[in-house]
């Protein structure tokens, strides 16, 4: 009798799975026994549609290795497209156990130069795409009484980064959306978690290199392969991950972090209430020591990847 694999009998939908992190997760999921829907519209990094050949190539590679997969060229920004890829999973494999919301584009630029179109496009793919696919999948998962929603966030949103107001806003929005999904859907045993991945991929290859220090950091990032993200994603999709929900993780090379979520850190009160003057002389001096620095992701993750 063949050995049981961790994801035997599971069906996973991975968006943006034609390359990078999505492809790595899909490939590893198939190796672990899952049947996989490979969604990718074949867009350029900026979101211009080219072809869905990347999805077909990933499917072919999975099938050559003895796995099961189908390709979807539907667009996550279209609610009907999200419904179609979920329907494809059910039609092809009979159920849907896990979704990895990974599809993304970048249109970086400093805020004072950012156009509405570039803000809108990035939020549509990342935040609306995550909503659309999760919303469609949740109907199937509620009927099943189980499911796992896994969303890719970023330290650009959780911590901050230069020239990424659109991407940062979308990625922090995803973290809040995930928490709401975890709360709203837990009665059906559907869990929702985020992963902030550090990996060298087509998206991170566009990071601006404008100093020797930044160049050195980018070279270190190139050592972090997309495959390093997969084990945590597969755990969250597995039955063993059933008690983990509402969490934000980060994966950086061989490190896995659980990320804090906003909570009060210090408070002040005055029985008579506040005035502008007492805020100036009492509240702010008392609270200032707990201010969060105006830092970026590289300031917080300042040590070399392990």
Is residue 235 annotated as a catalytic residue, yes or no?
Answer: no
Could you tell me the two tokens for 187? 């009665």
Average pLDDT, the chain: 93
Angle at 104 between CA 103 and CA 109, to 5 degrees: 175
Q: What is the largest CA-CA distance in the chain?
A: 77
CA–CA dist 110, 105 (Å, integer): 16
CA–CA dist 229, 145 (Å, integer): 27
User: What is the separation of C-alpha 114 from the centre of its chain, rounded to a whole number of angstroms?
Assistant: 23
Whether 99 and 150 have beta carbons less than 8 Å apart is answered as: yes
Judge if pTM exceeds 0.85. Answer: yes
Q: Which of 116, 167, 235, 291 is catalytic?
A: 167
Q: What is the pLDDT of residues 61-103, one digit of tens each?
A: 999 999 999 999 999 999 999 999 999 999 999 999 999 999 9
Domain ranges of the chain: 11-261
Least confident of 3-7, 167-171, 243-247, 294-298: 3-7
Q: What is the pLDDT of residues 8-33, one digit of tens each?
A: 999 999 999 999 999 999 999 999 99
CATH number (3.40.50.720, 3.90.1300.10, 1.10.1060.10, 3.30.450.80) of 11-261 reads 3.40.50.720
Alpha-carbon distances of 222 from 152, 252, 275, rounded to whole Å: 19, 11, 53
CB burial of residue 90 (10 Å; 0-12, 13-18, 19+): middle
Q: At what angle do helices 79-93 and 129-144 cross, to 10 degrees?
A: 40
Percent of the chain with pLDDT over 90: 84
Q: What is the pLDDT of residues 192-233, one digit of tens each?
A: 999 999 987 555 555 666 778 777 767 766 778 999 999 999
Q: What is the pLDDT of residues 63-73, one digit of tens each?
A: 999 999 999 99
């Amino acid at each position: 009798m063949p050995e049981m694999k961790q994801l035997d009998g599971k069906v996973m939908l991975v968006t943006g799975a034609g390359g990078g992190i999505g492809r790595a997760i899909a490939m590893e999921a198939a190796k672990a026994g899952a049947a996989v829907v490979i969604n990718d519209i074949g867009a350029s990094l900026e979101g211009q549609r080219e072809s869905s050949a990347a999805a077909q190539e990933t499917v072919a590679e999975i099938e050559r290795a003895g796995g099961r997969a189908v390709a979807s060229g539907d667009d996550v920004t279209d609610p009907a497209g999200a419904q179609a890829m979920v329907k494809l999973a059910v039609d092809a494999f009979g159920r849907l156990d896990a979704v990895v919301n990974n599809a993304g584009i970048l249109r970086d630029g400093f805020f004072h130069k950012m156009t509405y179109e570039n803000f809108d496009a990035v939020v549509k793919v990342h935040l609306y795409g995550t909503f659309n696919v999760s919303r469609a999948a949740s109907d199937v998962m509620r009927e099943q009484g189980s499911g796992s929603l896994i969303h890719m966030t970023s330290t650009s949103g959780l911590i901050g980064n230069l020239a990424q107001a659109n991407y940062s806003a979308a990625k922090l929005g995803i973290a809040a959306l995930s928490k709401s999904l975890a709360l709203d859907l837990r009665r059906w045993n559907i869990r929702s978690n985020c992963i902030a991945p550090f990996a060298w991929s087509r998206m991170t290859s566009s990071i601006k290199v404008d100093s020797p220090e930044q160049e050195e950091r980018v070279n270190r990032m190139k050592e972090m392969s997309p495959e390093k993200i997969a084990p945590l994603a597969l755990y969250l999709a597995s039955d063993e991950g059933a008690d983990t929900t509402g969490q934000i993780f980060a994966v950086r090379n061989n490190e896995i972090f659980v990320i804090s979520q906003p909570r009060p850190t210090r408070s002040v009160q005055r029985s008579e209430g506040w005035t502008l003057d007492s805020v100036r002389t009492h509240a702010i001096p008392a609270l200032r020591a707990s201010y969060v620095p105006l830092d970026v992701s590289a300031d917080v993750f300042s040590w070399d990847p392990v």
